[in-house]
Amino acid sequence: MTSLFDSDSLPSSHEQLEEGAVLLRSFAAAEAPLLVEEVARIAQGAAFRHLVTPGGYTMSVAMTNCGRVGWVSDRTGYRYDPKDPQTGSPWPAMPAAFLDIAAHAAAEAGFAHYEPDACLINRYTAGAKLSLHQDRDEKDAWAPIVSVSLGLPAVFLWGGKRRSDPVRRLRLESGDIAVWGGPARFVYHGVAPLWEGRHPLTGTARINLTFRKVF
């Protein structure tokens, strides 16, 4: 593990989780307030909603998107959609601050020229969780997924390439960024039920930005 100091002198660290997976603790600490403001702006145009899975379950995590396409789920399946099905309008544009932090984090993890076309925004409140899954709806199977944690901490579940592989637990705090690409791209992962709490940036919520290269 190596430590460095970003432009605001907040300590940041670089931790290799496995081949292709890097955890950058506090990497977005300085930008976090701006990123949360941008999320609020996006949610004015594309509201957070609880999607229904193909199996008929309503997800406990509330979601919205920005960028050229957004990840959506309904009884017919999962897909990337250029329009918000709730309004019929395109998703809000990806803010420059989002592209900037995602590209910088990807470069720090060894993925140069990262240009995500989608950002799924997850909002967790107490009890909300994400069951163990793989992200495999994206065409580019090498480009990383960049995950930015904002607000309340969460326990991230991180398994292996098979569902039955042992699961490690990792606490993610506001400003932490995880980058998963290349050989780590299809690792099973999830989020344990969120603890109740209060955070100065997000109140009773945790927000996670997941950047994806879809096309």
Residues within the interface to ligand MD3 (CB under 6 A): 120, 122, 130, 135, 145, 147, 178, 180, 184-185, 187, 189, 191, 208, 210
In this structure, how many other beta carbons lie within 10 angstroms of the beta carbon of residue 6? 16
Q: Could you tell which of Fe ion, ligand MD3, none binds residue 122, using a CB distance below 5 to 8 A set by kind? A: ligand MD3
Residue 109 beta carbon to ligand MD3: minimum distance, rounded to whole angstroms: 12
Residue 120: both structure tokens together: 């799924």
Residue 5 beta carbon to Fe ion: minimum distance, rounded to whole angstroms: 30
Q: Could you tell which of ligand MD3, Fe ion, none binds residue 177, using a CB distance below 5 to 8 A set by kind? A: none
* Listed ranges 94-102, 133-141, 170-178, 179-187: which one lies at the site for Fe ion (CB under 5 A): 133-141
Nearer Cβ to Fe ion (6/135): 135
Q: Could you tell which of Fe ion, ligand MD3, none binds residue 213, using a CB distance below 5 to 8 A set by kind? A: none
Residues 6+ apart with CB under 8 A from 24: 12, 13, 14, 15, 105, 108, 109, 176, 177, 178, 179
Q: Is residue 135 a contact point for Fe ion (CB under 5 A)?
A: yes
* Listed ranges 104-112, 131-139, 155-163, 177-185: which one lies at the site for Fe ion (CB under 5 A): 131-139
Contacts 24+ apart (CB under 8 A), 195-200: 195/126, 195/152, 195/153, 196/126, 197/126, 197/152, 197/153, 198/152, 199/151, 199/152, 199/174
| Strand partners of residue 2 | 14
Residue 20 beta carbon to ligand MD3: minimum distance, rounded to whole angstroms: 9
Give residue 82's identity as a one-letter amino acid code.
Answer: P
Query: What is the DSSP-derived secondary structure letter of residue 107?
Result: H
Residue 9 beta carbon to ligand MD3: minimum distance, rounded to whole angstroms: 27
Q: Could you tell which of ligand MD3, Fe ion, none binds residue 147, using a CB distance below 5 to 8 A set by kind? A: ligand MD3
In this structure, how many other beta carbons lie within 10 angstroms of the beta carbon of residue 93? 13
Q: Which residues bind Fe ion (CB under 5 A)?
A: 135
